[in-house]
Amino acid sequence: MPISLEELAARITALEDVNAIRQLKARYLRACDLKLVDELRDTFLPQGIRLDYQNFPIFTDRDDFIAIFEKMAMAGGVYDIHHATNADIELISPSEARGRWSLNFRTIILATRSVTRLAVEYQDVYRKQDGRWWIAESVSRITSILTEEIGEDDTPRYVAWGEAPAAQ
């Protein structure tokens, strides 16, 4: 079955768009880890965003989010690691897409001598404007947490949280 040039061009465009969204999410995660504030800001749509990250207020302005990020993540002795996997990206239209990601997050906080590991599920909406993709909406929900704290006597203490498995 022959494919027209128009169909082939549409398929290539779709592949390029999905790849651009993957790169956008990678830039977001890397900017969080390396505390690159301007690069982080530049991943979000300049106006009209909605960020609903569990345990935080809902943000509708990227600069409001950046202010909280600077206050929390930019404090000395805080080291973050964001690793996203299981990308599921769906193109809704030439200018809108949805994405689901699983995140393995770690934060090391020297002041509390702690490491916290989170499993998080993201649901994002991306919009293409001015020839590029932006994060327009992002919702994250924590599915489990494990915190390890090292006491002054060097004794570790572990705290785990997550939903118990359903009875079978």
Please give the span between the terminal C-alpha atoms of the chain, in angstroms, as a whole number: 49
User: What is the identity of the amino acid at 137?
Assistant: E
Structure tokens at 41: 């800001």
**What is the spatial distance between Cα 52 and Cα 63, in angstroms, rounded to a whole number?**
15
What's the chain's Rg over C-alpha atoms? 19
Tens of pLDDT, residues 87-142: 999 999 999 999 999 999 999 999 999 999 999 999 999 999 999 999 999 999 99
Name the class of domain 5-162: alpha beta
Query: Is 60:44 a contact under the CB 8 Å cutoff?
Result: no
Tens of pLDDT, residues 12-53: 999 999 999 999 999 999 999 999 999 999 999 999 999 999
Report how far apart, in Å, the C-alpha atoms of 168 and of each of 2, 143, 161, 163, 165 are: 51, 20, 21, 15, 9
Q: Which pTM value belongs to this model?
A: 0.90
Q: In the chain, where are the structural domains located?
A: 5-162
